[in-house]
């Protein structure tokens, strides 16, 4: 079967309304395209649990800073379509920038504390852009559930907060980060990396593994965990650290000492050359 490609918001809404009337459950998988196996894993998981899976492809200018890579963000819609079909997806919503943000557009969604730290500090306005576009994509696709990757850990917390605060009634599912065999987290931006940088990028994964093993061994002192991770990162001077922290998995607060039962997230971001990389790992006693 071929893919249903929908470009207008009103067509998308009519299709979703009709499907809902038929009693179909709908899942939405928001992406910026240039899909890889990580995205495919979200689609495959959504297909397992829902009758209809709508993948969205939209490179959202609102979530890029003025000096970020919006213009050069990689694009390949034909390849994306093949990946969606192979993952079992049958619908793709690809609106234009004009369709999403016509000249008279004037509403944005701003989220509190959870969006202010980490990515929020280094990418001002990023989460406002993310929340606004995701709310619009939800309004267009009218899903029962939406699938996001743990790769963008803080984003999953921000979206959950928005869905709760605005009573959107959408079930948010978070899917583990898919990695290349080397351990590098898959990302559309990995195409920017030279072969040498791809090797250097493995330092993020080593630092996170080090942090996790300390926690596994019973260390709950935040600074000590962070220092050990930073020591590993220091072994790769090309990686310019923005943050390297351990935080509470649900609130991103950073107590001096974690308790035995806390869910902990280790978060790293920084630049390798011109490419910004982020990665994280979580630990839970349960
Ligand atoms: P993006 O196209 O980068 O905006 O990502 C779209 C969705 O795919 C987001 O929910 C990401 O967290 C998720 N995603 C990106 N990379 C991965 C990965 N390596 N594994 C799992 N999910 C991912």
Mean pLDDT of 244-263: 97
* 78/171 Cα distance (integer angstroms): 30
**pLDDT for res 21:** 98
Q: Is the pLDDT of residue 1 over 70?
A: no
| Per-residue pLDDT at 285 exceeds 90 | no
- Beta bridge partners of residue 275, listed in sequence order: 272
Q: At what angle do helices 153-165 and 126-141 cross, to 10 degrees?
A: 60
Handedness of CA 121, 57, 37, 79 (dihedral sign): negative
Distance (angstroms) between ligand 1 centre and the Cα of 224 equals 30
pLDDT range class, residue 2, cuts 50, 70, 90? confident
Residue 32 CA: nearest ligand 1 atom is 2
- Amino acid 121: pLDDT: 98
Q: At what angle do helices 126-141 and 9-21 cross, to 10 degrees?
A: 50
Q: Which residues line ligand 1 (CB under 6 A)?
A: 31-32, 38-39, 41-42, 148-149, 151-152, 175, 177-178, 185-188
| First vs last C-alpha separation in the chain | 42
| Residue 49 designated active-site | no
Q: What is the mean pLDDT of the chain?
A: 97
Task: Tell me where in the chain the CATH 3.40.50.620 domain(s) lie.
Answer: 4-175
Choose which residue among 28, 29, 31 to substitute to test ligand 1 binding: the one with the highest number of ligand atoms within 8 A of its C-beta: 31
Structure tokens at 255: 């107590």
Cα 58 to ligand 1 centroid, rounded to whole Å: 13
CA of 31 to the centre of ligand 1 (A): 7
Q: pLDDT for 82-119, tens place per residue?
A: 999 999 999 999 999 999 999 999 999 999 999 999 99
User: For the chain, where are the alpha helices, taking DSSP H only?
Assistant: 9-21, 37-49, 77-86, 97-100, 119-122, 126-141, 153-165, 195-200, 202-216, 222-234
How many Å lie between the centroid of ligand 1 and the Cα of residue 30? 9
% of the chain at pLDDT higher than 70: 100
Predicted local distance difference test score (pLDDT) of residue 38: 98
Going by CATH, does the domain composed of 188-277 fall within 1.20.1440.230?
no
State the pLDDT at residue 286.
Answer: 74
Q: How far apart are CA 110 and CA 166, in angstroms?
A: 11
What tens digit of pLDDT does each residue of 176-204 get? 999 999 999 999 999 999 999 999 999 99
Q: CA 187, CA 197: separation in Å to the nearest integer?
A: 14
Q: What is the pLDDT of residue 162?
A: 98
Three-class secondary structure of residue 119 per DSSP: helix
How far is 205 from 201, CA to CA, in rounded Å? Answer: 8
pLDDT, residue 29, reads: 99
> Which atom of ligand 1 is closest in space to residue 176's alpha carbon?
21
- Percentage of the chain exceeding pLDDT 90: 99
Strand, helix or coil for residue 3: coil
Q: Residue 27: phi, psi to the nearest 5?
A: -120, 145
CATH class for the domain made up of 4-175: alpha beta
Question: According to CATH, where is 3.30.1300.10 located in the chain?
Answer: 188-277
- For the stretch 49-70, pLDDT in tens is 999 999 999 999 999 999 999 9
Q: Is the pTM of this model over 0.95?
A: yes
- Rounded CA separation 248/259 (Å): 10
């Amino acid at each position: 079967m071929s893919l249903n490609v929908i470009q207008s918001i009103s067509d998308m809404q009519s299709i979703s309304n009709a499907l809902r009337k038929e009693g179909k459950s709908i899942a939405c998988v928001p992406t910026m395209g240039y899909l890889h196996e990580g995205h495919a894993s979200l689609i495959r998981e959504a297909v397992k649990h829902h009758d209809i899976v709508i993948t969205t492809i939209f490179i959202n200018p609102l979530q890029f800073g003025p000096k970020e890579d919006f213009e050069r963000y990689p694009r390949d819609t034909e390849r994306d379509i093949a990946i969606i079909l192979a993952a079992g997806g049958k619908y793709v919503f690809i609106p234009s920038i004009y369709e999403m943000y016509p000249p008279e557009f004037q509403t944005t969604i701003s989220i509190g504390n959870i969006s202010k730290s980490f990515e929020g500090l280094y990418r001002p306005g990023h989460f406002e852009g993310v929340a606004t576009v995701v709310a619009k994509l939800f309004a267009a696709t009218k899903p029962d559930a939406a699938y996001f990757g743990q790769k963008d850990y803080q984003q999953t917390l921000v979206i959950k907060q928005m869905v709760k605060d605005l009573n959107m009634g959408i079930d948010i599912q978070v899917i583990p980060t898919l990695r290349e065999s080397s351990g590098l987290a898959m990302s559309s931006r990995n195409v920017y990396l030279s072969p040498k940088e791809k090797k250097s990028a493995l330092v993020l994964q080593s630092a996170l593994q080090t942090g996790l093993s300390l926690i596994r061994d019973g260390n709950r002192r935040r600074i000590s965990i962070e220092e050990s991770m930073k020591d590993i990162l220091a072994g790769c001077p090309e990686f310019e650290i923005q943050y390297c922290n351990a935080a509470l998995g649900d609130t991103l607060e950073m107590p001096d000492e974690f308790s035995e039962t806390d869910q902990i997230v280790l978060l790293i971001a920084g630049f390798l050359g011109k490419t910004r990389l982020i990665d994280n790992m979580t630990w839970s006693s349960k």
